[in-house]
Structure 1
Amino acid sequence: MSKIIGITGGIASGKSTVVEQIRRAGYQVIDADQVVHDLQKKGGRLYQALILAFGTDIVAADGQLDRAKLAQLIFSNEENREKSAKLQNRIIREELARRRDALAAKEPLFFMDIPLLYELDYQDWFDEIWLIYTDEDKQLERLMKRNNYSSDEALKRITAQMPLKNKKKAAQIIIDNNGSPEETRKQLEVQLKRLEKGQPF
């Protein structure tokens, strides 16, 4: 039976960097964001559903979804956010389950990177949940720098998710990403070695 590790964090918590290191260590990772991108591509299961819900304004000149416009629309008010979530979550969950089951048939250990793992109630899918943690001011600073957001825009996106301090109480393993990349890498190596030895958390 496969061991499945859930990885989560918050926007701009540095999760992508950690996931890349896990891949470099030779492990398979199902990336929920990539799954969403695949489903939203022209002809994908979510593509038509989103256009029906929000209109053709969210389609770019090349016929693909304009992700920036879609994100702006979703984050513009609570009603749009709820409408989008309800529409997308069922289809995304089905596709994640399909990919999980396919990988479980051939991999003894793999990871699933799900940003909204707690918010969307995926906890019971995993043997362990790892949280990539940063303090909120560091998260805010990174998001403003990365996406060129104002502090208000960045804060709106951070507060749309469950606070990292709440996720911290629920996760089994915390990878603290407040320090240097080297400090984060060392914490990750410790956890990967523990898994290789089959030791409990």
Structure 2
Amino acid sequence: MGKIIGITGGIASGKSTVTNFLRKQGFQVVDADAVVHQLQKPGGRLFEALVQHFGQEIILENGELNRPLLASLIFSNPEEREWSRITQGEIIREELATLRDQLAQTEEIFFMDIPLLFEQAYSAWFDETWLVYVDRDVQVKRLMKRDQLSKDEAESRLAAQWPLEKKKDLASQVLDNNGGRDQLVSQVVTKLEIIESQLID
């Protein structure tokens, strides 16, 4: 029996360091954000649903979605936000489920990188959930440096997400990224060794 592992984190927590390392080790990692991006391209299921709902004005001259306009339409109206959460959420879930089922046929171990894993109730899909965790003050500093933000701007972005402390209580495994990259990667290596030994047994 193989293993399906869900990976999540927060802004600037170091999730991409983990997923990039796993890919280099030869593991398949489904990137939920990349899947959403594909679905929002012209002809994609999300693109069609959004245009049908909001109309042609959300399409730019080059045929792509006008993302800033779309964001303002959705986030300025609670009803539209709820429509988006339900409709887009269902389409994304269906697409991710298809990818999961395909990989389960061929891979002994694979990973799914889902930023809103706990918020959107994906936990039951996985044998394990890995949270890439950092302390709040470290997260703020890294986000400020990465995106050239002021402290207030960084705090504001983090306030829009579930705190990592809350996710920590829900995850089956926690990868502590308060140290450097090597320390984080060594934790991943240890967890992989445990999983691989379990599969052999």
Q: Quickly say closer, same or farther: Cα 1:41–1:129, change in 2 above 3 A.
A: same
Residue 198 of structure 1 aligns to a residue whose secondary structure is: helix
Inter-partner Cα distance in structure 2 for 1:45 and 1:131: 29
In structure 2, runs of 5+ residues without a counterpart are none
CA positional deviation for 1:95: 0.5
Query: What are the equivalent positions in structure 2 for 1:1-201 lying under 5 Å apart?
Result: 1-56=1-56, 58-71=58-71, 74-75=74-75, 78-198=78-198
Residue 188 of structure 1 aligns to a residue whose secondary structure is: helix
| Letter paired with 1:189 | V
Inter-partner Cα distance in structure 1 for 2:53 and 2:148: 28
Inter-partner Cα distance in structure 1 for 2:170 and 2:78: 26
Inter-partner Cα distance in structure 2 for 1:152 and 1:58: 31
Inter-partner Cα distance in structure 2 for 1:14 and 1:75: 27
Residue 129 of structure 1 aligns to a residue whose secondary structure is: strand
CA positional deviation for 1:74: 4.5
User: Moved runs in structure 1, 4+ residues, more than 6 A?
Assistant: none
CA positional deviation for 1:63: 1.4
| Letter paired with 2:173 | I
Residue 106 of structure 2 aligns to a residue whose secondary structure is: coil
Over alpha carbons, which structure has the higher Rg? Answer: 2
- Alignment: residue pair count: 199
Task: Answer with 173-182 or 78-87: which moved more.
Answer: 78-87
CA positional deviation for 1:138: 2.2
TM-score, normalization: structure 2? 0.87
Contact map agreement 1:130 1:174 (CA 8 A) in 2: yes
Identity %: 55
Q: Quickly say closer, same or farther: Cα 1:164–1:39, change in 2 above 3 A.
A: same
In structure 1, runs of 5+ residues without a counterpart are none
Contact map agreement 1:144 1:151 (CA 8 A) in 2: yes
Inter-partner Cα distance in structure 2 for 1:170 and 1:135: 16
| Letter paired with 2:87 | L
Q: Deviations over 1:101-153 (max 9, x none)?
A: 01101111111111100000011101111000012222223333333444444
Contact map agreement 1:6 1:128 (CA 8 A) in 2: yes
| Letter paired with 2:135 | D
| Letter paired with 2:117 | L
Contact map agreement 1:130 1:172 (CA 8 A) in 2: yes
